[in-house]
Amino acid sequence: MKLLEYEAKRVFAEYGIPVPKGVVIRAPEEVAAHLPDLGDGVVLKAQVDVGGRGKAGGVLMADRATAAETARELFSREIKGVPVREILAEERLPIEHEYYVSIAVDRSSRQPVVLFADAGGVEIEKMAEEDESAVRRVVVSPLLRDIPPFLMRELLGGAPKELAPVINSLYHVFQGKDAMLAEINPLVTTARGVYAADAKLIIDDNALARQGITVNRDLSEREREAEKHGFSYVELDGTIGVIGNGAGLTMSTLDLIEFYNGRAANFLDVGGGADQERVMHAVKLVASMPGVNVIVVNLLGGITRCDEVAKGIIAAGVAPTVIVRMAGTNEEEGRRLLAECGYRMLESMDAAVKAAMEVAE
């Protein structure tokens, strides 16, 4: 889950990373009360979970006289379709230089990777594309508590040594908060010291519980309902409901529908080892979406047992619209149960998808 900037900055501050003085406001008139603390120049930043917020008009500069009016203007905007409900009002820092630092999970080396650039505030991908040497990277063993000094020297190159403790603290945030990504862009130097002018923190969804985070804001209402039952669920805009087990097979079923020029309505992965009850909820959930007139269940039993799935489909009781393809663990029993109840079963996913297309049209 991606935290909003002010939430991320709160975490950074807990770990000793200096952040600008700031306050979250939920209405334009609130800004006035905080102006004495923030100083003459303020930055107003929309707290919306979209990429490229600055370019999309989500960050505005103001001074004492214009702060309230600028806040009102920002509250009235939509940033990439997302309404602005909260604004972070911050002191404007006397910036000397901007740097970039981020820590992410590197899939290839299976270790944390730290990226650093002598120029910040810009898009790192573009920077790396234009000049590969502009972005330095080091990987750190996950068994180490700190970034070792030799790696820190390699990372910083000629950049000021004062950045090192901040980068090391960011590494502590990354580890301590189960982050997939911890980023400061820009990381700025001022006459008063080093500051995280912006903050980005994405927490591993598999660690939300142990981080004490219960709400996953990234999910829509219906997706949240699906999550309650332990499903991965995504809504699309077609007419064929798709239930599969395992992300790969379910995505592959979706791809096959597209291959045959059909349109999937949604995508539900029941996950590994789904029992009768979970499957029943899955079928009901997918069937409940408006516009769905046929459901393809594509199931390959491994840890999931076909007989359990069959019982779940039957219990959901939406017989005429469900087309089933199942193979694998306890396949014969599953097929027998479904056959008894008159469900349509096909041997391959190609055949099942084609049959669903006929019903959908």
Partner 1 sequence: MIYGDKNLGVIVQNITGKQGTFHTELMNAYAREVGGRGVVAGVAPGKAGREVHGVPVYNTVREALREHDATASVVFVPAGAAGDAVMEAAHAGIELAVVITEHIPVHDAMSAIAYAKLHDCTVIGPNCPGLLSPGECKLGIMPAHLARRGNVGVVSRSGTLTYEVVDELTRAGIGQSTVVGIGGDPVIGQTFVDVLARFEEDPQTKAVVVIGEVGGNLEEEGVRSTDLPVVTYIAGVSAPPEKRMGHAGAIIEGGEGDARSKVRRLRALNIPVASRPSEIPGLIREVV
Nearest 5°: phi and psi at 120?
-120, 180
**Please, what is the minimum distance in Å from the beta carbon of residue 244 to partner 1?**
7
Angle, helix 31-38 to helix 67-75, in steps of 10 degrees: 130
Q: Does 324 bind partner 1 (CB under 8 A)?
A: no
Q: Select which of 5, 91, 183, 308 is catalytic.
A: 183
Catalytic residue among 5, 6, 90, 100: 100
Q: Note whether 110 binds partner 1 by CB under 8 A.
A: yes
State the Cα–Cα distance between residues 73 and 233, nearest whole angstrom.
36
Smallest gap from residue 152 Cβ to partner 1 (A)? 20
Residue 108 interacts with partner 1 (CB under 8 A)?
Answer: yes
Query: Footprint of partner 1 on residues 65-104 (CB under 8 A)?
Result: none
Alpha carbons within 13 A on the beta-carbon side of 354: 6
Which of 27, 33, 65, 247 contacts partner 1 by CB under 8 A? 247
Size of site (CB under 8 A) for partner 1 = 56
H/E stretch holding 79: strand 78-79
Choose, by CB under 8 A, the member of 36, 81, 125, 221 that binds partner 1.
125
Question: Which position has the token pair 């479904």?
Answer: 338
Whether 183 is catalytic = yes
Distance, in Å, from the CA atom of 297 to the CA atom of 282, rounded to the nearest integer, reads 10
Check binding of 360 to partner 1 (CB under 8 A): no
Q: Which one of 28, 58, 241, 244 is in contact with partner 1 (CB under 8 A)?
A: 244
Pick one of 30, 73, 86, 204: the residue that binds partner 1 (CB under 8 A).
Answer: 204
Structure tokens at 251: 């995505």
Based on the shown chain and the rule CB under 8 A, indicate whether residue 20 belongs to the binding site for partner 1. no
**Cα three-residue angle 339-340-344, rounded to 5 degrees:** 30
> Residue 255 interacts with partner 1 (CB under 8 A)?
yes
For 247, 250, 251, 353, the CA distances from 309, given in Å and listed in that order, are 17, 15, 19, 19
The minimum distance between CB 208 and partner 1, in angstroms, equals 9
Per CB under 8 A, does 264 bind partner 1?
yes
d(CA 218, CA 292): 24
Residue 195 region by backbone torsions, left for phi larger than 0, else alpha for psi between -120 and 50, else beta:
beta
Question: Rounded distance, CA 245 to CA 268, Å?
Answer: 8
Does 111 help bind partner 1 (rule: CB under 8 A)?
yes
Q: Which is nearer to partner 1, 47 or 266 (CB)?
A: 266
Whichever of 24 and 105 has its CB closer to partner 1, that residue is 105
Nearest 10 degrees: Cα torsion 76, 81, 84, 87: -120
Q: Which stretch binds partner 1 (CB under 8 A): 89-97, 287-295, 316-324, 343-351?
A: 343-351
Residue type, 124: I
The tokens for 246 are 């395992």
Residue selected from 122, 137, 172, 252 as contacting partner 1 according to rule CB under 8 A: 252
Are 202 and 2 in contact, with CB atoms under 8 Å apart?
yes
Q: Quick check: 207 binds partner 1 (CB under 8 A)?
A: yes
How do strand 59-63 and strand 41-46 relate by DSSP bridges?
Answer: antiparallel
Which range binds partner 1 by CB under 8 A, 31-39, 72-80, 87-95, 138-146?
Answer: 138-146
Active site residue 340: no
Question: Which residues of the chain form contacts with partner 1 (CB under 8 A)?
Answer: 51, 105, 107-108, 110-112, 125, 141-143, 175, 178, 180, 204-207, 210, 218, 232, 234, 236, 244-252, 254-259, 264, 267, 269, 271-273, 299-303, 327-329, 331, 348-350
- Active site members: 100, 183
